[in-house]
Amino acid sequence: MYDNPVISGFHPDPSVCRVGDDYYLVCSSFEYFPGLPLFHSKDLVHWQQIGNVLDRPGQLPLPLPGAKASGGLYAPTIRHHDGRFWVVNTNIDGGGNFLVTAERPEGPWSDPVRIDLTGIDPDLAWEEDGTCWCAFSGPAGGINMARIDPATGKVLEGPFPTWSGTGLKFPEAPHLYRIGDWWYLLIAEGGTERGHSVSLARSRSPRGPWEGAPGNPLLSHSGTSHPIQNTGHADLVQAPDGSWWMVLLGVRPRGFTPDVHVLGRETFLTPVEWDEDGWPVLAPVPERHAAPGGAWHPVPDVPARDDFDAPALAPHWISPFARPEGSWSLTERPGRLLLTATGPTLDSPGHTFLGRRQQHHDCRVTAEIDPGTGRGGLCVRLDEAHHYEVEAADGEVAVLARIGPLRQTVARRPAPAGPLRLTVTIRTRDLVPASPGLTDGGTTGPDTLAFWFGDPAAPDNRPLAELDGRYLSTEVACGFTGRVIGMYATEGQVAFDWYEYVPVPAPSS
């Protein structure tokens, strides 16, 4: 059996391909660098991040022109053709649609080749004679198709409009497949919120005409009480045993109505059956299901603790907009991560921040920090206008909250010089009340974030502050991303001896 999601946390818009017995999957990364996390699996269930497709500043303009939260890199597609891996993508903040290639999925990946098509969510598919088609979501709405030269990005035919779904809003995320005698066009529609859905059409030619599946939308959890919501933006893959599977995004909302999600859109896996007329049949995305056939291939978990002894940063570390070389170092103070401030505040782009995605509803993050004469700490970030942090500077530790236009220092405590231990705990039980004086039943948040100085397990230690997690949710902040918990510097240089992220199982009912 396997449990959904198969890749938890902020890993949306999954696209997958199989090469022999190996599966490769890539996700959107929006404003974060490195861009487009790349995963490998042997069984579609256990995934290990093996790199990032865009891991060099020269592969895309950084900082992104007009950089903004939830901008940047949208909806990649990964395919394998003619002995090479291909990833096609959109940079909405500069460069438009482009593709990169590599002989090996671990890279190195090429510099981008621009495709002169206006729209988002590009896809690649080849005919047997080598003709390459690019399906994408056009600027006027609906799915467009163009024939391109993938080596140069030149448009050879089109673009022209093709099938645009069942009439729901935002038909997007097209994926084109040749299966048997049919071409199938899989799309998302209904928007990426609760109405998100998966629909499909087929034709004898990539040029159409297209016939919609009689059961469209084939998948939607809209209007249900299913714990997985916003299901859509899917990709199909066939296993070596002939079975078919679909990866797709979804969210796990929590809290009081209307529910909010804080981890971002995650990657789920669901089985696909085919009826006697050649149409795929999908059941609701399961929380737990029988795994694909074949051998079971667990992979190593991301290490809970990073002591910064390696010569390079692990691929799961990300930074908003850019990571200038002078903003961080693993060698200046060996065994420590040294961050140098590039901006005075987390409230606007240009700051120094290095974090990893929150992947569990209940977790604990601890870092040992030596602020020296600088200023820095731990931040739980959704965007520049929605973040909480615990920071050390000037002989004290403080908890700060930025919620929309409001910024407030929530708590302060004197702190000695030298290394300090800062902790953020996130829990889904025993929530802080929504307003002072409210007791049981008066909570609205999906979780509570507590900020600690010193050892939280010490009997006489109490959190500096506890804050409602709903303000760091997508439904409050808007956008397409999830929480990232990281280290930062906003003044001078700040050294981090280690960082630890630990899932904490919630107490049973």
CA-wise closest residue to 362 among 505, 152, 165, 198: 505
Q: Are 341 and 375 in contact (CB under 8 A)?
A: yes
Q: For Cα atoms 302, 304, 306, give the angle at the middle one, nearest 5 degrees.
A: 95
The rounded distance, in Å, linking the Cα atoms of 242 and 18 is 12
Q: Which DSSP helix (H) or strand (E) runs through 475?
A: helix 474-477
Tokens for 16?
């997958």
Q: What SS3 class is residue 36?
A: strand
Q: Which residues contact 118 (CB under 8 A, 6 or more apart)?
A: 96, 97, 138, 139
For residue 470, report the phi and psi dihedrals to the nearest 5 degrees: -65, -25
The rounded distance, in Å, linking the Cα atoms of 165 and 188 is 8
The rounded distance, in Å, linking the Cα atoms of 479 and 160 is 30
Q: Is-catalytic flag, 275?
A: no
Q: Is-catalytic flag, 157?
A: no
Tokens for 122?
């590009």
CA-wise closest residue to 453 among 506, 389, 509: 389
CB count within 10 Å of CB 320 equals: 28
Tokens for 391?
């920071």
CA-wise closest residue to 146 among 125, 160, 163: 160
Instruction: Tell me whether strands 484-491 and 352-357 are parallel, antiparallel or unpaired.
Output: antiparallel
- DSSP annotation of 369 reads E
Instruction: Tell me whether strands 120-126 and 132-137 are parallel, antiparallel or unpaired.
Output: antiparallel
Task: Choose the catalytic residue: 31, 121, 123, 172.
Answer: 172
Q: What SS3 class is residue 141?
A: coil
Q: Which DSSP helix (H) or strand (E) runs through 125?
A: strand 120-126
The rounded distance, in Å, linking the Cα atoms of 329 and 295 is 41
Q: Which amino acid is at 483?
A: R
Give CA separation, 412 vs 392, 396, 462, 471, in Å.
Answer: 10, 7, 13, 21
Phi-psi region of 177 (alpha: psi -120 to 50; beta: other; left: phi over 0): beta
Task: Choose the catalytic residue: 13, 121, 389, 491.
Answer: 13
The rounded distance, in Å, linking the Cα atoms of 270 and 119 is 28
Tokens for 478?
């808007």
For residue 297, report the phi and psi dihedrals to the nearest 5 degrees: -130, 75
**Catalytic site residues?**
13, 172
